[in-house]
């Protein structure tokens, strides 16, 4: 279920990750995500994230290729992420060998939301969906978060969407 | 400049990559990208790709984390991709060590477009942009392409967008 509000405690925890991420960002990364006029606070970040359906999820392959999947992924009321993982796919093999994943949601208004997270892959029995695919639910713990809101100037900015959120 | 039409030769080349990619896909991947009713042909793929602004670009880090950037990236009239690469960032270091990158564009209507590509990083002198960041242009050669059009049924389908393209 899509959460649309969070406790002060959850917001503070997410905000701390966002602030620490920006503090330790490299120069190039800070030149993008550090723009004052486009920064999002924890609440705007969470609402914007859950307001976008598709998420790109990158994992490190054991071979020479990284992998990238298009999935559905939302923050729950506790500010955690639960990812559906199909058994037998590249993403499952990747995460069992290396639990680090990077997630990104974006909007053509310039919004870019990036979450570095660790996956906790359980030993649960898989569930079979109606297409016959086996899957398990994997908990993701955010480690770093970078968030950038819509363009505020230039040809792609949309003045009607100004403000740090889309709630 | 955004291309909106391509020669028969370019379309045939892209179509061959798309067909070969699906033929050699794993079971989980084929269960997503192989849906007959949502397949895109080369022209619909290229137009849809160029009609979406933001692209997620994954690279394999030399450390334990994959990297994921939100960038602008379009096919030119020759059906090739030219990526702007900032010097000193994680993506530059990654691609110089391992030129493999996975790109994804997506839309909340269910569209998912994924391109596995090899980067050809030149020894050119960098260009300095107005924020003082140095960058070079990197050519990307598509190796595998997976494309899935909008939902055609279910709560997120949009009947007004039916058809395999958004041209």
Class of residue A35 by CB neighbours under 10 A (exposed 0-12, middle 13-18, buried 19+): middle
Class of residue A40 by CB neighbours under 10 A (exposed 0-12, middle 13-18, buried 19+): buried
Contact assessment for residue B121 and residue B95, using Cβ atoms and an 8 Å cutoff: yes
Q: Is residue A159's pLDDT more than 60?
A: yes
Any chain B CB within 8 A of the CB of A61?
yes
- pLDDT averaged over 10-residue windows placed end to end, chain B, 167 residues: 86 97 92 91 97 96 93 93 91 95 95 97 89 90 95 78 47
CA distance B81 to B84: 10
Say which residue, B161 or A23, is predicted with more confidence: A23
Tell me the pLDDT of chain A averaged across its residues.
Answer: 90
pLDDT of residue B161: 57
Best B48, B65, B66 residue to mutate vs chain A (most A CBs within 10 Å): B66
Task: Indicate the CATH number for domain A8-152.
Answer: 2.30.110.10
Which residues in chain A are contacts of B70 at CB distance < 8 A?
A: 104, 106, 112, 114, 148
Distance from CA of A120 to the nearest CA of B (A): 15
| Residue B137: half-sphere exposure toward Cβ, Cα within 13 Å | 7
pLDDT of residue A27: 87
Q: State pLDDT tens for residues A125-135.
A: 899 988 888 99
Contact assessment for residue A124 and residue A74, using Cβ atoms and an 8 Å cutoff: no
- Is residue A155 helix, strand or coil? coil
What is the predicted ipTM? Answer: 0.88
């Amino acid at each position: 279920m899509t959460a649309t509000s969070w406790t002060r405690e959850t917001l503070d925890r997410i905000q701390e990750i966002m602030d620490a991420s920006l503090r330790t960002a490299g120069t190039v990364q800070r030149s993008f995500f550090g723009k004052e006029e486009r920064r999002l606070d924890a609440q705007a970040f969470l609402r914007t994230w859950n307001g976008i359906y598709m998420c790109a999820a990158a994992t490190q392959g054991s071979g020479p290729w990284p992998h990238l999947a298009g999935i559905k992924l939302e923050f729950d009321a506790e500010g955690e992420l639960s990812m559906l993982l199909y058994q037998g796919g590249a993403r499952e093999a990747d995460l069992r060998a290396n639990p680090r994943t990077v997630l990104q949601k974006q909007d053509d208004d310039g919004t870019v939301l990036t979450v570095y997270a660790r996956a906790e892959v359980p030993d649960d029995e898989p569930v079979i969906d109606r297409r016959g695919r086996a899957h398990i639910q994997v908990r993701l713990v955010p480690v770093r978060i970078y968030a950038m809101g819509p363009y505020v100037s230039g040809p792609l900015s949309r003045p009607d969407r100004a403000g740090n959120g889309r709630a």
